[in-house]
Amino acid sequence: MVLQASGVMSIPATVSVDNQLPPSWMAHYNCADVSMVTSGYTSRLWSQDHHPQNWTKYQVWEWLQQTLDMHQIDATSIPFQNFDLDGRQLCNMSFQDFTRAAGSVGSILFQSLTDLKWNGQYGQTDMFIPGDIKTEIDADFPCSILPFKEEPSFYSPSELFDIKSSFQPNITLASPAPSSPDPKRSQVKRHNPRGTHLWEFIRDILLNPERNPGLIKWEDRSEGVFRFLKSEAVAQLWGKKKNNSSMTYEKLSRAMRYYYKREILERVDGRRLVYKFGRNARGWRESEK
DNA sequence: ACCTCGTTTCCTGGTT
DNA sequence: AAACCAGGAAACGAGG
């Protein structure tokens, strides 16, 4: 993993991200760097002087993103609304709270947090992954959205509702595993072994308003039509995620156009900066969340 | 070593 | 004129 050497980004002279970023994000750009909002901020967020206990909701959110990225787990595979918490609430969560909130991914999150709480840095201990949870692509389930599955065997029925002490957020407990108890099905599936694809990155920005302060907006939510508001800022974020400081909207949009053929995106004629999710794009519909 | 995939980079030409 | 769109061509890095 390549850690960012400093908070200074190399931005092409022609690009002024400052002009495009909303004020609410400038602090992140200036104080930490763009990686605070993507996946490359590994060590900065949890520096020694910033114990998870002290995290803001935003930082909890970033930790979540980062941990999922690290494990190449699709960000949409867990219900993010279950993590609408600050650091103190997060630290109060038990292992079972995590598995309830995020299914089998919960154990990964729990271990990550435990490492951070006790070691101050993630990954200093071996990963504890109950049941040898694996991530894999499931050919039967090409959708990037994974059904949120509970592991009923992890806890007794009485435990199921005894989470109020430390975990108040609006948990919507998923119904027990829909059908087959096939162990393969209950594994966390790795969405794509090379990390998040561009369209998923775009989708995730759209789906998470708190990390999307005016970068991209829905034009027609039900139809999957969206518009770039800050094209160069999005490109910079994408570049940051890919460790490529010379990314531009020009190049990002070329990659977007390649999606037309694969029907991940559909053309929207005559409208600048407007795209539409196609039949092969998953996870953007409200009903899929 | 080779292939595939998903971009990235560069480009020409067209449109808003 | 600047910004954006369309898409060809080649290259690239990672993974298989």
* Residue in this structure with the two tokens 């709480």, named with its chain if needed: A117
Q: Is the CB of A256 under 7 A from strand B?
A: no
- For A13-47, the DSSP string reads TT--HHHHS-HHHHHIIIII-GGGGSS--HHHHT-
Tokens of A96: 């079972």
Q: Look at residue A11 and tell me whether its pLDDT is greater than 50.
A: no
List strands edge to edge, sheet with A216-220. A216-220, A225-228, A274-277, A265-266
Which 3 state secondary structure label does DSSP give A276?
Answer: strand
CA A190 from centroid of its chain's CA atoms: 13
Instruction: Tell me the residue length of chain A.
Output: 289
pTM of the model: 0.52
Tokens of A287: 């009903």
The better pLDDT of the pair A189, A251 is held by: A251
**C-beta separation of A281 from A224 below 8 A:** yes
**C-beta separation of A57 from A63 below 8 A:** no
pLDDT tens digits, A48-91: 446 778 777 766 776 777 677 666 666 666 777 777 778 888 88
**C-beta separation of A85 from A10 below 8 A:** no
Mean pLDDT of A166-177: 32
Nearest residue to nucleotide B10, by CA–C1' distance, is: A251
- What type of residue sits at position A94? S
Q: Is the CB of A251 under 7 A from strand B?
A: yes
Q: Look at residue A171 and tell me whether its pLDDT is greater than 60.
A: no
CA A154/CA A93 separation, integer angstroms: 15
pLDDT tens digits, A257-282: 999 999 999 999 999 999 999 999 99
**C-beta separation of A44 from A5 below 8 A:** no
Burial of A171 (0-12, 13-18, 19+ CB in 10 A): middle
Q: Is the CB of A261 under 7 A from strand B?
A: no
pLDDT, residue A72, reads: 60
Instruction: Tell me which nucleotides of strand B come within 7 A of a protein CB.
Output: 6-11, 16
Tell me which residues from 193 to 232 on chain A have a beta carbon below 7 angstroms from nucleic acid strand C: 193-194, 231-232
